[in-house]
Amino acid sequence: MRVMPNVHANGIDIEYEEFGDPSNPTLLLVMGLGAQMIVWDEGFCQLLADRGFHVIRYDNRDVGLSTKFDDAPAPDLAAAMGGDGSSAAYLLADMADDGIGLLDALGIEKAHIVGASMGGMIVQEMAIRHPEKVLSLCSIMSTTGDRAVGQPTPEAMAALMAPPPQTRDEALDLAVKAQKVIGGTFPVDEAKVRERAGRSYDRMVNPMGMARQLVAIMASPDRTPKLQQLDVPTLVIHGVVDPLVTPSGGEATAKAIPGAELLMLEGMGHDTPEQLWPQIVDAIVANTEKRGALA
């Protein structure tokens, strides 16, 4: 197993990994709820690196090998769902500051930022809070924080809220089951899903971290008014059949951000299937090139 570096930034330790030439423009990848940075597939990262980017993926706080907030009060999911976010140990804004802190610690002045699901929410916050650091923004299968859009289907919500696995085998079975619910119409490669789930399980298991992240999402405000003030090349990618963050979330994001491009992908659920990587990478690269046109 490769040894991945870490830095101390924004008051926490952040585990990260780099692909490509550090002298190239940086593209920061931000992962979603409860997901470690290795869910950004190495092949996907390498495709972006091969297009001339210095790619960085990292573990958000409370997941993988970055700092855990185990000393915080227990997150109250039921209260948060009811609108009481007082049990939140942190907000999405804090998680956005983590990613910017990572860039600062590495001496990177500006970056293109790409986030998936909760990661999309985080990169939106990065652009709101630190516009001077952001060259372009890509929000994938995410939403604005407006509770009227992007809400999961009952089946997807049940998959999200399933009790945490008690063993490694249970973790692998649960990953496959969840993928079949949220993954869209592309065939599920069970062997690949199990392999990735196994690597994640072996690397770190922290169900309470995922719960704290979920409360952070619920306790964070609607970003729509501030998204409307952004001035950054923006691409919004969403799956037409996403049941976890339903398409209205992506549509609302693109509508809120001035000049944003919306790319709706047929057959894509709450996942970035390998069959769509070339199209997704092409779209991300084209969005980054808008910055040059605006300069």
- At residue 254, the pLDDT reads 98
CA distance 275 to 163: 31
- At residue 294, the pLDDT reads 45
pLDDT digit of tens for each residue in the chain (295 aa)? 455 799 999 999 999 999 999 999 999 999 999 999 999 999 999 999 999 999 999 999 999 999 999 999 999 999 998 999 999 999 999 999 999 999 999 999 999 999 999 999 999 999 999 999 999 999 999 999 999 999 999 999 998 888 989 999 999 999 999 999 999 999 999 999 999 999 999 999 999 999 999 999 999 999 999 999 999 999 999 999 999 999 999 999 999 999 999 999 999 999 999 999 999 999 999 999 997 644 3
- At residue 160, the pLDDT reads 86
List CB contacts of 204: < 8 A, sequence separation 6 or more: 36, 63, 64, 65
| Domains annotated on the chain, with CATH | 6-153+207-294 (3.40.50.1820)
In this structure, the strands spanning 111-116 and 26-30 are: parallel
- At residue 291, the pLDDT reads 74
